[in-house]
Amino acid sequence: MALYAGIDCGTQGTRVVIVDSERGTIVGEGSAPHRLQSGADGAREQHASDWIDALVTAFHQAASDAAIDTQQITALSVSGQQHGFVALDEAGAVLHPVKLWCDTATDAQNSWLLQQLGGVSGALAQPGIVPATGYTASKILWLKQQHPALWARLHTVLLPHDYLNFWLTGERVMEYGDASGTGLLDIRSRSWDRHTVELIDPDGRLWQALPPLAAAQKCIGTLQPEAAQRLGLRRTVRVATGGGDNMMAAIGSGNIAPGTVTLSLGTSGTLFACSETPVTDENGLIASFCSSTNRWLPLICTMNVTSATTLIQTLLAEDLTGFNQLLNQAEPGAEGVEMLPFFNGERTPALPHAQASLHNLNAVNFTRANLCRAAVESATYGLRYGLDLFRQQGISAQEIRLTGGGARSAVWRQIVADVMNCPVVSLRIPETAALGAAIQAMWASALLDNPAQQPDALLQSLCQRFVTPDESTRAVPDAARHQTYETHYQRYLKRLNTTYPEVAL
C-alpha cells in the first residue's frame, strides 16, 4: 500500500488527508484550528509557529483516523493560503507575525507601488499582474517602512506553504504558482521581476532574499529530523513543491484543462480556470497567476462570501440549518432588499476600505428570510461579475465545480446555477486543496522515480482517478429564474456604481 499526504494550511486551520494511491481513496483526515489576530487598521495576522503545531495535530488525527502505520507514507505536499509574508532571518527565525492575504493595512504601500509601476497598464506590461493590497509585495514594503530594524535582518522571503516546506525539509524555495501571487514574479517568463523588486528596495536586500524557484512537479527534499520525529514519519519521505491553496484546489477539482471553472464559496470567494496562455483584462481585475500545472490560472477573488453570511447567521442566532431554511423561504431578489456585503473591504472590485450596507428596506421586506437571501445573492453577484470578465476574455464555462462551505447548501448551489446560467456540481471529495496537494505529491514522486513519464498525461490520469463530481449535488439553471436574476444582478451593479462611482463597472 502506497500512501501519500496532502496538507492544506488555510486561514482558519490546517487540514490533512492521507490517500491510498492504489485504491484511489482517502483513508484518513484530520484538522486543527488557527488563531487569527485582527486590528482596526485592517491587519490580519497569524503566528507561523501555530501552523506547525496545527500541522502536527492534524497529521496525527489523520493517521489515527486511517489506522495506518505512518511509516508507509511515501511523499507529501503542502497547500497554503496565498499572499502571506513570512520574513526569515539567516538562522530561519520568523521576524514578525505573518500578514495574511486578507490583511488590508498595507493599502497605502500597494497604492504607491502601483503608481510606481505606471498604474494598471504599466503593471500589466511588466510584470504582467496588477498588485492588489492583499499581495505579498505591499507587505514587504510595509515591513521595510515600519520595522527598519527587522528589515536589516531580513534574509529570506517565504509564503505560508513555503514556510511549512522549510520546516519540513530545511529548504528555502518557492514554486511558480504561489510565487506569482507575490506581485514580484514576471508571470510570462516565470522569473523574479527585478524592476518591481528594485522599486521596493533598490539596495538589493530584497533581491537577495527572494528564494530560488521550482517547477510544480518537483520534489524539493526529504524530511529533517525534527519534522520526521514530530510527525512520526521516515526521514526519507519526499516533499513535493506544494503551492497556493487555489493552485492546489485547481488540481483537486480536476481543473487542469480549459473548459472547467472552479468556484469556491468559502470565507472569501474565488473563481478560477485553466489557460494555456496568460489572461488579463484591461482593468487588471483578473489575476493572471501561474498554475501549479505549469500553465496559467486566471483568477478572480472576492473578500466576502461565507464570511458575510456567517455574520448574518450569528446576528440572527441561527445555526446553519436554520439559516438555510430562512434562505429557502425568501423569493429570488429578496423582495427588493439589496446588500453590498463588504464587511471586509473588497478586492473585486478594488475597494479595500469599503463597508457593508443594506438598501431598499421597508416594513414589509425587512424580514429574517430576506436578510439571509440578500447576503447570499450579493455574494454570488460579486462572483458573477468575475465570471463575466472571464467570458469577455474568451474563457468558456461548460461546468462550474463548487467547493467551500457554501457549496454544501442545495439552495445556494441553485442560486449559483441560476445567476451564472451554467450547470454547477460539487465534488465527492470537497477538500480540494488538501486532495490537490496529495495528488501533486503522487505526481512529483512518480516522476522522480520515472522521469521518462509524460507529466501532463500522468497528472490527468491521477485527477481522473481521484476527482469525481457528486451528481447528487448537480444544479442546472432554470431559464425563468435566470431572467429574474439578470434583472436583480443589473440592479446590484447599478447600486454598486452609485455607492462607489470610482469603480465604474
Catalytic residue positions?
245
| Burial (CB count <10 Å: 0-12, 13-18, 19+), residue 181 | buried
- What would the 3-class secondary structure string for 461-481 be? HHHHHHCCEEEEEEECCCHHH
Other beta carbons within 10 Å of 23: 11
Q: What is the DSSP string of 84-130?
A: -BEEE-TTS-B-SPEE-TT--TTHHHHHHHHHHHTHHHHHHHTTSS-
Please name the residues in contact with 391: beta carbons below 8 A apart, sequence gap of 6 or more: 397
Contact of 99 with 106, CB cutoff 8 Å: yes
Please name the residues in contact with 91: beta carbons below 8 A apart, sequence gap of 6 or more: none
Contact of 241 with 214, CB cutoff 8 Å: yes
Type of residue numbered 180? S
SS3 label, residue 440: helix
Please name the residues in contact with 69: beta carbons below 8 A apart, sequence gap of 6 or more: none
Burial 393-416 (b: 16+ CB within 10 A, else e): eebebebbbbbbbbbebebbbbbb
What is the Cα–Cα distance from 159 to 51, expressed in whole angstroms? 12
Helix (H) or strand (E) holding 195: helix 194-200
Nearest alpha carbon to residue 272 among 310, 302, 242: 302
What is the Cα–Cα distance from 327 to 193, expressed in whole angstroms? 47
CA R_g for the chain: 22
**Is 83 annotated as belonging to a binding site?**
yes
Type of residue numbered 315? L
Cell numbers for 53:
503545531
Contact of 492 with 376, CB cutoff 8 Å: no
Other beta carbons within 10 Å of 316: 14
Cis check for the bond before 258: say yes or no (omega within 30 of 0). no
Cell numbers for 213:
524557484
* CA triple 75-190-349, angle to 5 deg: 100
Where is the binding site for substrate, in residues? 82-83
Where is the binding site, in residues? 82-83
